[in-house]
Amino acid sequence: MDSPAFTGFCDALANNKSLIELDLRNNDISHVGGTELAAALKRNVTLRILGIYFTYIIIQKKIFINRSSLE
């Protein structure tokens, strides 16, 4: 994911005050999208469960494959 829509999603996630669980399973996230998502997660204070099972995140031209959930 690396699009204006995902950027908007990350902006909304960063400022959200009620979401406690988010499921992002089975997605491909580019290095740009991964950076935006990380920044949003740093700012979000309510999210407690992030499902990223089988989410592929490209980090500096390497692929990170996550097969577990962060809880």
pLDDT of residue 71: 41
**Is 32 inside a domain boundary?**
yes
Query: Domains in the chain: how many in total?
Result: 1
Q: Are 66 and 57 in contact (CB under 8 A)?
A: yes
Sequence-ordered list of residues with C-beta below 8 angstroms from that of 41, at least 6 positions apart, any chain? 13, 47, 50
**Is 46 inside a domain boundary?**
yes
pLDDT tens-digit profile of 9-23? 999 999 999 999 999
Higher pLDDT, 16 or 53: 16
**Is 71 inside a domain boundary?**
no
Q: What share of the chain is helix, strand, coil (3-state, %, to 5)?
A: 35, 25, 40
**Is 55 inside a domain boundary?**
yes
Q: What are phi and psi of 70, to 5 degrees?
A: -95, 120
pLDDT tens-digit profile of 56-66? 776 665 555 55
Residue range(s) defining the domain that contains residue 61:
4-12+20-66
